[in-house]
Structure 1
Amino acid sequence: MGLPRVLKNMNFYNEGFAYGGEAKTVTLPTLTRKLEEYRGGGMGGPVQIDMGMEAMELSATFGGPVRDVLRQWGTRTVDGVYLRFAGSYQQDDTADVDTIEVIVRGRYSEIEMGDQEVGEAGEFSITMAVAYYKLVWNGRTEIEIDPMNMVEIVGGVDRSAQLRASVGMF
């Protein structure tokens, strides 16, 4: 039994540039399987068949406008912007610290300038359509998803390797 890991600090990076002090919140991509109900002859009930992944997205809010982000608007490639979240999670019962990094590549689907009020911190937010995802826990890659190259590695096992090989993709 133990206490949960609590985010004690974080940083957010865009193409390697740190947004320390600027990034307020980061909503990491939700990993969602696309499942379809199927019931064939001789089955006592339906099962959910795995049809791959749903699209991923990341969002973040900042304390005010970020020029670097604005200059990346409309990038021409699906994986044209590189973002990285680094979080320091600590358990208060053991004081153990885990570093969790999420690395994504994609392009912005939305940039919102938010309400601007004199004397108040602004709110600037982004939403990114994610084309590549990697989660690293204490230096070990736990999940890597690259839909364009049909790669899905979980816990060190490439779950798509056999499918790629069967259609001549190596």
Structure 2
Amino acid sequence: MGLPRTLQNLNTYVNGADYRGIIGEFEQPKLSEATSDWRGGGMPGAVKIRQGLNPMEATLTFGGHETGLVRLFARDDTRIRLVCAYQAKSGSTPQAVDIFLRGSFNEIDFGKDKPGEQTEHKYKADLTYYRREVNGTVEVEIDMLNGIYMVGGVDRYAEIMAILAG
């Protein structure tokens, strides 16, 4: 029996700039495969056929007004690194989770501003790249542009890329 690991703290880097103390929260990309239904002759029902991966996106919420982030609006190849510390309970060994993203901030929600109150801006990034490392081990790496689809050290797209390379 154990307790779940929860996020104890995080930091974010965007194109190498440190946003410690400014990052508020993030919504991680949803990883999902695109599928379609197939029911052939003689089959009593449909089955799901894999059609590749669905697009990925992430949302980051920052406190205050950050001109450097606003200037990245609709700019391709923005690099984002989330450095996270997860821990089951006080005194247990923390787990390092690094999330590397590449894409474009294609939506900025400036929200509501009120004098004297905290301001939050949300940046939605459409992603072309995702890598998740846990304690230095790559668990998932997806590079849509370069045909990389690794999960648990297994390249699930290697055979397809070998065929395409001729």
Q: TM-score, normalising length from structure 2?
A: 0.95
Aligned residues: 166
Equivalent residue letter for 1:167 = L
Distance in structure 1 (CA, Å) of the matches to 2:42 and 2:82: 48
Give identity over the alignment, percent: 35
Note the residue ranges of structure 2 that are not aligned, 5 or more in a row: none
1:109 equivalent in alignment to 2:106: yes
- Residue matched to 1:20: 20
Structure 1: state its 5+ residue gaps. none
SS at match of 1:72: coil
1:157 aligns with: 154
1:113 Cα offset (Å): 1.6
Q: TM-score, normalised by structure 1?
A: 0.93
Superposition deviation, residue 162 in structure 1: 0.3
Partners of 1:2 and 1:93 within 8 A in 2: no
CA offsets 1:28-56 (integer angstroms, 9 cap, x no match): 10101111111111222211111111100
- Cα distance in 1 for residues equivalent to 2:73 and 2:90: 44
Runs of 4+ with >2 A deviation: none
Determine if contact 1:61/1:124 at 8 Å carries over to the other structure: yes
Can you list the C-alpha shifts for 1:112-132, whole angstroms capped at 9, x where unaligned?
222111111111110000011
Distance 2:99 2:34 in 1: 22
- Cα RMSD after superposing both structures: 1.3
Partner SS, residue 148 of structure 1? coil
The alpha-carbon deviation at position 96 of structure 1 amounts to: 2.2
The letter for the 1-side match of 2:31 is L
Distance 2:7 2:157 in 1: 32
Instruction: Return the letter of the residue paired with 1:35.
Output: T
- Contact kept? 1:27, 1:59, Cα under 8 Å: yes
